[in-house]
Amino acid sequence: MYASEIVAVGMAVPDRIVTNDDLSKLMDTNDEWITQRSGIRERRWVDAQTTTSDLALRAAERAIAAAGIKKEDIELIVMATLSPDHDFPGTGCFLQAKLGLAGCATLDIRQACSGFLYGLSVADQFIKTGMYKTVLLVGAEVHSKGLDVSTRGRDVAVLFGDGAGAAILKRTDATNSSRVLSTHLHAEGAHAQELWLPGPGMNLGAERVSRAMLDEGLIYPKMNGKKVFAHAIRRMAEVLMEGLAANNTKLEDIDLFLFHQANLRINEMLAQELKIPPEKVFNTIHKYGNTTAATIPIGMSEAVAAGKLKKGMLVASAAFGSGFTWASALYRW
């Protein structure tokens, strides 16, 4: 029997730091308002030339180097993003070309904030079945180019940052203690329009894109913040406990919690409801904002660098996002 092990991670964020005070020059907001509601103090935004696959490439190269493997060892690229370089083909193809890996399979995951954990589940299954030995899993986003940075769009615009995180998964023996123990995935499409990007699209009349869509701001993300907040706490708690039950594990057995970074208040309330000690929750949202599919691998990378994530630790991750989708994973580092 096979299992998969996360053997290395890497991350990449733009050099440009955008503070809450910087945003106050673009829209009617201020540092206190943003920080109180989200815990975010700054985020990174790309320059005009940088794409999602560019950030993905940097993160991937760092993960490959940290894993001590040759890039040619990679047999599958799983790319999680909701901000693709182009509508098609998948961004994984552009990443593959930049890595110089002609021939290996690529697969894009479009499950927003749950994308990395969905991708982890996909990579884990491919390895468990024996189809692949080495998989590159990437979560990458460039949100800044698709935000309404006026007062009209401030409720969403202040939350998001750009960044990428990558993980190398390798086949290991199922008896190896360091492995992905289980993943758990869910969705509820009835709530899709509570957090979504209306246009452009094929469900908006005769034209995929029109002047009216631009004038109405349909090309910018829309969110029912209160509903997302409430569902996120409930669903993340449920799916986290589902993962623990599947592995006959208790909350106190977990050494570190790496949650999706959508809003610090969500993670604080989740920890409070489940009585998780704050020191066991590793957060990065205060300096990177919500990088969607990239938040968990960025958290992994930062936690390793900070000495908070060490070999042998039992780790639990959970995420909630657009779709609605939610997911969890339990893994031994």
Chain segment 226-247, per-residue pLDDT in tens: 999 999 999 999 999 999 999 9
Question: What is the mean predicted confidence (pLDDT) over 153-181?
Answer: 97
How far, in Å, CA of 155 to CA of 27, rounded? 10
HEC string of the chain equals: CEEEEEEEEEEECCCCEEEHHHHHCCCCCCHHHHHHHHCCCEEECCCCCCCHHHHHHHHHHHHHHHHCCCHHHCCEEEEECCCCCCCCCCHHHHHHHHHCCCCCEEEEECCHHHHHHHHHHHHHHHHHCCCCCEEEEEEEECCHHHCCCCHHHHHHHCCECCEEEEEEEEEEECCCCCCEEEEEEEECHHHHHHEECCCCCCCCCCCCCCHHHHHHCCCCCEECHHHHHHHHHHHHHHHHHHHHHHCCCCHHHCCEEEECCCCHHHHHHHHHHHCCCHHHECCCHHHHCECHHHHHHHHHHHHHHCCCCCCCCEEEEEEEECCCEEEEEEEEC
Instruction: Report pLDDT digits (tens) over 248-273.
Output: 999 999 999 999 999 999 999 999 99
Catalytic residues: 113, 260, 290
129 band by pLDDT with thresholds 50, 70 and 90: very high
> Of all residues in the chain, what percent carry a pLDDT higher than 90?
99
Question: Across residues 123-146, what is the average pLDDT?
Answer: 98
- What is the pLDDT, as a whole number, of residue 229? 97
- Peptide bond just before 324 cis, omega within 30 deg: yes
Mean per-residue pLDDT for 292-317? 98
* The pLDDT value given to residue 283: 98
Mean pLDDT of all residues belonging to the chain? 97
Q: What is the pLDDT of residue 248?
A: 98
pLDDT at 32: 97
pLDDT of residue 225: 95
pLDDT computed for residue 178 by the predictor: 97
